[in-house]
Amino acid sequence: MLKVDVLGRKLLGRLNYHSLSCKASVGVSSYIPGLRCKQRRSFYGDSANKDKNGGSPVHLKITIRDIESKYHNKTPIVMVTAYDILTSRCAHIAEVDTILIGDSLGMVIYGDPGTNRVTIEDMIRHSRAVTNVKHRFTPFIIGDLPFSAYLTPKDAVYNAARLVSEGNVDAVKLEGGRRVEPMVRAILRAGIPVMGHVGLTPQTAASLGGMKLQGNTAEPAVEIFESAKFLADLGCFSVVLEAIPHKVATHITQNISVPTIGIGAGPGCSGQVQVFHDIAGMFHKFVPKFAKRYALVGRQLEAAVESYRDEVVLNPYSNPVPKYLKLTGISDTSISQSESPSSNASSGHVDIGKERKNLKISVIGAGAMALWLMIRTLVEDGIVEGNLVKASVDKSFQATDANANKDKNGGSPVHLKITIRDIESKYHNKTPIVMVTAYDILTSRCAHIAEVDTILIGDSLGMVIYGDPGTNRVTIEDMIRHSRAVTNVKHRFTPFIIGDLPFSAYLTPKDAVYNAARLVSEGNVDAVKLEGGRRVEPMVRAILRAGIPVMGHVGLTPQTAASLGGMKLQGNTAEPAVEIFESAKFLADLGCFSVVLEAIPHKVATHITQNISVPTIGIGAGPGCSGQVQVFHDIAGMFHKFVPKFAKRYALVGRQLEAAVESYRDEVTSGAFPMKHNSFAISQIQFQKYLKLTGISDTSISQSESPSSNASSGHVDIGKERKNLKISVIGAGAMGSLVAGKLASQGKYDVTLISSWEHHVKTINQSGLMIRTLVEDGIVEGNLVKASVDKSFQATDANEGVLRVTSPFQTLFKPEKGAVADVVFILTKGHSTRSAARTAATIVGPNSLVVTLQNGMGHAGRIREEMGEMATIVEGTISHGALLEGPGTVFHSGKGATIIGCSESSRFVSPGATQLVSEVLNNAGFDTVIADSPAILMNSQWLKLAVNSIINPLTAILGVKNGYLIGNPNIQDLSTRLGQEFLAVLRARNGFQFSVDDVEGVLQIVFDVANKTKMNTSSMLSDLNRCVQTEIDYLNGFLVREGKRLKVPVACNETITGIVKAMENFQRLKMKSESESKGRHQIGDQEELLAANKQTMLVKSIPEFRSVARRFATSGLRVGFVPTMGGLHEGHLQLVRESKRRCDVTVVSVFVNPLQFAPHEDFNSYPRDLTRDFELLQAEEVDFIFTPEASELVPSDPEVTLLVKGSENKPEGASRPHFFHGVATIVLKLFNIVKPTVSFFGQKDAQQCATVKQLVQSLNVDTEVVVCDTVRESDGLAMSTRNNYLNAEERKAAPVIYKALLAAENLFNQGQRDVAALRKVIEHHLSLEPMFELLYVAISDNFSMDEISELAPSLERDGVCISVAGKIGKTRLIDNIVLRSSKQR
């Protein structure tokens, strides 16, 4: 059972109250400014931590006594691992209780297969990094003793002392039970606190059978228990329990004298620890069952490096200064030409063309910028798709040995290793070289995936990894260890890897060659880099003689920055610039294969680049170098101290890491993590045997776990098998449908959904309930929950989820024996609460539970009034995002917290009842917290009311999405007044203490939700749009009633309530008026026809359909028509929905037109599945499906067909000259048969749409043609029946078409109007995907589809269509995008 601990907190101050949303949400931080410090003082603080005026803590250091205090107060202890300055800083900012510097760094930092390669030197170095953080809050810091560091008591105490004295940790941790007794005793005698570790001990995992669950049978579980108890009695201040069954962990926790810290041990431990990289989504190999990701940072890092790579490859170049040129004595023809409007390509770097304006607009460069802009936007929102084009930007990579890298069939490269010859080739071909730093397995993997040319393992790791003030503390041992980590990546593409020689590693030629050789042989690098000009000549010569490639480094040399006046610009006057030039030239002539130019004027860098014989790599040296290098942490926004002027952030990952750790902390503190699905189980037989062997009574666990523990409560019979529970959900709106569907999908419960929405009930009974879920990485997954009319149900572990759906009317009949619901969830709108309660009264028994999770206040009281004493009521709030997309389909758009408990009036409800509800919801994936007290429950309800009473009415009145409210000055005052009245009502309720003290805190929570649901439409606005009653009476109306009762002014809420009610009335009157305006003489015929067509009708013959069409004509109904060739997908269904929205009757034709296929095309293999198509259309409540026979619609030798003049001269027509004649012929025939009022087509087939519009115009066909936007997959691929032909690898490559089109659109939006430039950027992006074969790129008039050579203002106004066709494998794909000026858009 999960509970919310409120000790030392203001009620929900730390409750992880995710998604306090009016409609759909993805998470809300419960942090309220000003509250955290108060909470932390109550946990740890005293007057010594306050300033002289008793204000906020000046500095707070957590001690072992604070840990003990939390344990005795039963407050969860929060621990997280950290390994470097970044992860440590995030943990400090999140104010976790303890940091563990884990030997897991072997896996997550160095890429080792396990932890046993980690040494005490590694631990000390990383411990110094973790303890390098300066922050007002310092956790208790524990260092792991690595495997080889405590083999004997002498080793153990010596290395523990080193970890404390050199690594600055507060305590050490070691693994094992009785076998480590001598080592533990020795360390404790030295006065060093020790944390034990039992269960799965990774250092000795081989002897345990691998990294797997331990203690899942009685005897091993007893051994773990005895080991934990022994360590506690020995004097360990805490014990880690890893990967053991949650019941065993709970029993151990309750029966030893020190706190337990669980990892994969369930929620019953005293605290929790998680690996930082699991929390942040930064470990790519696997996600342990017991872990939970609070961010997906790894993918964002990959995308950031890819964006940097694209920008470097496509950058322009720059030029130098006159006095410096004179001193160098080198002619400046190339540079002066490059500054001149008449420059040519003699410089070898850029052809500027005839006009100066071309300096400002680079087609390819702008394309990359457009692509970066798209990625940047996603990064700002915290969501990044890391699946950009994974192909080499420069095909010269493969020039040296092209065939060797291909498979036997000449396909894509199997493995590509960049060599020094490839770097030289890029230099000679004037292709920019892309370099990025990397320091560990994560940063290296991102660089490999982005396919950068070179990786530099920089001594900048001293600053960005270890938190040192500079680079000079880095040793050769550090460099070797991190080089091994970087080169540990296994990927089909391997960059050229260069290792920095640290400052102390090349003081003499002997040192230089020895340490360079170590870096190559032990660190596996390809080359080394060292800093300086002529002074390093002997060292460079020695290394080169050993056959090791050397990269030079001039300009700002950080290792000797003190002698240069600090970390600042160099060469900004002529003489120093000449010295830099001469140093670079000297190194090039000496034999260095490349030279880094750091922090020098861009014109000087350009001149050096053009006048030395090797490539230059710039960092802060402008765009004129042969390539660029950036520090990984600058690219990703992971370095907090400063951002150099020359750096550019492509992501803001640092902030997301902080937020992820804070969310983890909040969930552990509140009890929302871990849940049962993050834990391991033990069979009841083995657990009982375990209890018997330990000989310790376990009343607390048996009461909570035993099936019969609560049968005597008289409120709910949980003695039965819980998976056979009968559950009813009343209310089939978005949330009711989601809850019912998720419960039914488990296959454990007999679930019935009760709804008065006949259409919804019928659709689910016919086709099932489709739950579409937005998963972590932005992809929507669909899960179909089947429906059944079979009244028998017996759950088994393998049972497939089945949902029964019925109406309230049917429940009025007395259910048969045994059909009484054990649990009834009421999830209706507030105004339906009483009728829902009356329905519930017909299906509950004496032991049943009624659970209300509704928005608004007072629902439990209304249920009790209707049901009397027969109702045992559990109340709560649920904050998942749900949207009902149509009958039978619900969209699960975000997860949040579910909080349940009992109000003051329901104190008699037993703990077993709330535990049962919690278990049911948790099993269905609704992470549920049980509130300890009525006050906590009430607090959660009021928090949600605060959000809903501000967001819902304001968005409904303004008719806007939630995001419109953020930072909008026009509604700031109104929001503030609503918040003030909300708090005024709360304060007038004596005896209730709310977790938020001021209106700023309320508004922060509200706008947090608005920001995280900014693309959502509030439920109140949706209700107004659908002309149904809103919940205003149970939100703002409730505040108005409470205000009047308590004599508190609530004028603003009164006004808001009145406006929304007026809008409700207006919408109803408008709907009634529109209905009457159709004419009374038509209504009878229409109703008769529609009533006769309650179910989808399949019509196969032309005469039969003509008789139907005649009835349409005489009844005055608007007929919508969607012609298709079957193989239906979401794109077709969107056309259907648009037709149903606009028209009274919807007709869909399914006919594979032979006239539009050439003999060599896929007519015979084209996907045909009429049964599936019928089911999909039936679920959409299509009125008629027309499937004419081919022999009837297309005679074998038709005497008359249409010829579309000029179609063969248009792009698609040129590729398929027969196509549009066939389309026009059949579409005209269908128009004549169906006689539609409106016909619907998809923009994806742009030239087809143009042909149909011209057909209608030329032949005066009486139908309106509506072209709907292209419907796309989550990665941008246009939906098409032919997508089914693609295999997995081809499918992965297919989104390149849309990305290329987006690049052109972004270029257009930036002002580019040159047709050739738009075409070129598309062709460039498509060329990056080796699997894509381009057929054509066409830029055309959107109406006629005639290709154009320039964008006239009229064309820009009416729309320009850019079309692409190509093949991936054998599959032909097309897509397009329509460009319009911003005003027209």
Quick one: pLDDT at residue 41? 30
Torsion of CA 1124, 758, 879, 296, to 10 degrees: -20
Determine the length of the chain: 1385
- The answer to whether 662 and 94 have CB atoms below 8 angstroms apart is yes
- Per-residue pLDDT for 536 more than 90? yes
Residue type, 956: A
Query: For the segment 928-955, what is each residue's pLDDT rounded down to a tens digit?
Result: 888 877 778 888 888 888 888 999 899 9
Q: Where are the alpha helices (DSSP H) in 897-968?
A: 911-923, 934-958
Beta bridge pairs of residue 273? 79
Quick one: pLDDT at residue 1096? 74
Quick one: pLDDT at residue 872? 79
State how far the alpha carbon of 72 is from the alpha carbons of 7, 65, 76, 299, 484, in Å: 11, 10, 10, 41, 45
Helix, coil or strand: residue 858: coil
Between 410 and 250, the higher pLDDT residue = 250
Beta bridge pairs of residue 80? 99, 274
In angstroms, the CA 270 to CA 1146 distance is 61
- The answer to whether 290 and 674 have CB atoms below 8 angstroms apart is yes
In angstroms, the CA 214 to CA 1178 distance is 51
Residues annotated as catalytic are 1132
According to DSSP, the β-strands at 416-417 and 493-494 are parallel
pTM here is 0.49
- Per-residue pLDDT for 359 more than 70? no
In angstroms, the CA 752 to CA 729 distance is 6
- The answer to whether 99 and 142 have CB atoms below 8 angstroms apart is yes
Quick one: pLDDT at residue 1114? 59
pLDDT band at 73 (very low <50, low <70, confident <90, very high): very high
Query: For the segment 1220-1233, what is each residue's pLDDT rounded down to a tens digit?
Result: 777 888 899 899 89
Residue type, 273: V
Quick one: pLDDT at residue 1206? 67
Going through 778-897 in order, the beta strands assigned E by DSSP cover: 780-787, 802-806, 821-826, 844-852, 873-878, 881-886, 889-894
- Per-residue pLDDT for 1253 more than 90? no
- Long-range contact pairs involving 1255-1263 (C-beta distance under 8 Å, separation at least 24): 1255/1202, 1255/1204, 1255/1224, 1255/1227, 1255/1228, 1256/1231, 1259/1228, 1261/1228, 1261/1231, 1262/1235, 1263/1121, 1263/1231, 1263/1235, 1263/1236, 1263/1237, 1263/1238, 1263/1239
- Per-residue pLDDT for 732 more than 50? yes
In angstroms, the CA 1345 to CA 1363 distance is 10
> What mean pLDDT do residues 92-118 have?
92
- Per-residue pLDDT for 742 more than 70? yes
Distance of CA 11 to the CA centre of its chain: 30
Quick one: pLDDT at residue 722? 55
Least confident of 278-282, 356-360, 1295-1299: 356-360
Take residue 27 and report the two structure tokens written for it: 């998470």
Backbone angles phi, psi at 1192, to 5 degrees: -85, -40
Query: For the segment 279-303, what is each residue's pLDDT rounded down to a tens digit?
Result: 888 877 677 878 887 777 877 787 7
- Per-residue pLDDT for 452 more than 90? yes
State how far the alpha carbon of 1200 is from the alpha carbons of 508, 1221, 1245, in Å: 92, 11, 25
Quick one: pLDDT at residue 189? 95
CA atoms within 13 A on the CB side of 1105: 27
Backbone angles phi, psi at 1360, to 5 degrees: -120, 130
In angstroms, the CA 282 to CA 296 distance is 7
In percent, the amount of the chain with pLDDT more than 90 equals: 34
- Per-residue pLDDT for 622 more than 50? yes
Least confident of 83-87, 378-382, 813-817, 1320-1324: 378-382
User: How many CB atoms are located within 10 Å of the residue 572 CB?
Assistant: 14
- The answer to whether 955 and 1025 have CB atoms below 8 angstroms apart is no
- Per-residue pLDDT for 1110 more than 80? no
Take residue 1049 and report the two structure tokens written for it: 């002014």
DSSP 726-754: EEEEE--SHHHHHHHHHHHHTSSSEEEEE
Query: For the segment 204-231, what is each residue's pLDDT rounded down to a tens digit?
Result: 988 888 888 999 999 999 999 999 999 9
Query: For the segment 233-272, what is each residue's pLDDT rounded down to a tens digit?
Result: 999 999 999 999 999 999 999 999 999 999 999 999 999 9
> What mean pLDDT do residues 1012-1025 have?
78
Best mean pLDDT range from 614-618, 646-650, 778-782, 1264-1268: 614-618
Backbone angles phi, psi at 826, to 5 degrees: -105, 115
- The answer to whether 824 and 780 have CB atoms below 8 angstroms apart is no
**Mean pLDDT over all residues of the chain?**
78
Between 1354 and 183, the higher pLDDT residue = 183
Q: Where are the alpha helices (DSSP H) in 619-733?
A: 632-636, 653-670, 684-694, 699-705
Torsion of CA 101, 105, 106, 110, to 10 degrees: -140
Looking at residue 200, the DSSP 8-state letter turns out to be S
Take residue 769 and report the two structure tokens written for it: 């309930």
In angstroms, the CA 1150 to CA 1193 distance is 12
> What mean pLDDT do residues 146-166 have?
94
Between 296 and 1321, the higher pLDDT residue = 1321
Least confident of 1103-1117, 1166-1180, 1302-1316: 1103-1117
Query: For the segment 1182-1225, what is each residue's pLDDT rounded down to a tens digit?
Result: 888 998 888 788 776 666 767 777 666 666 766 666 667 778 88
User: How many CB atoms are located within 10 Å of the residue 1113 CB?
Assistant: 11
> What mean pLDDT do residues 1167-1171 have?
75
- Per-residue pLDDT for 670 more than 90? no
> Please, is 1259 exposed, middle or buried when counting C-beta atoms within 10 Å of its C-beta (0-12, 13-18, 19+)?
exposed
Place of tokens 């730093």: 437
> What mean pLDDT do residues 495-505 have?
95
In angstroms, the CA 467 to CA 473 distance is 10
Quick one: pLDDT at residue 87? 92
In 3-state terms the chain splits into helix, strand, coil percentages (rounded to 5) of: 45, 15, 40
**Cβ-based neighbours of 1301, under 8 Å, separated by 6 or more:** 1322, 1362, 1364, 1375, 1376, 1377
Query: For the segment 366-397, what is each residue's pLDDT rounded down to a tens digit?
Result: 333 333 333 333 333 333 333 333 333 333 33
Quick one: pLDDT at residue 797? 36
Quick one: pLDDT at residue 1108? 76
pLDDT band at 315 (very low <50, low <70, confident <90, very high): low
User: How many CB atoms are located within 10 Å of the residue 758 CB?
Assistant: 11
- Per-residue pLDDT for 896 more than 70? yes
- The answer to whether 1060 and 1032 have CB atoms below 8 angstroms apart is yes
Least confident of 102-111, 455-464, 675-684: 675-684
pLDDT band at 137 (very low <50, low <70, confident <90, very high): very high
> Please, is 973 exposed, middle or buried when counting C-beta atoms within 10 Å of its C-beta (0-12, 13-18, 19+)?
exposed
> What mean pLDDT do residues 983-1003 have?
79
- Per-residue pLDDT for 746 more than 70? yes
Q: Residue 679: name the closest of 1094, 158, 263, 336 by CA.
A: 263
pLDDT band at 128 (very low <50, low <70, confident <90, very high): very high
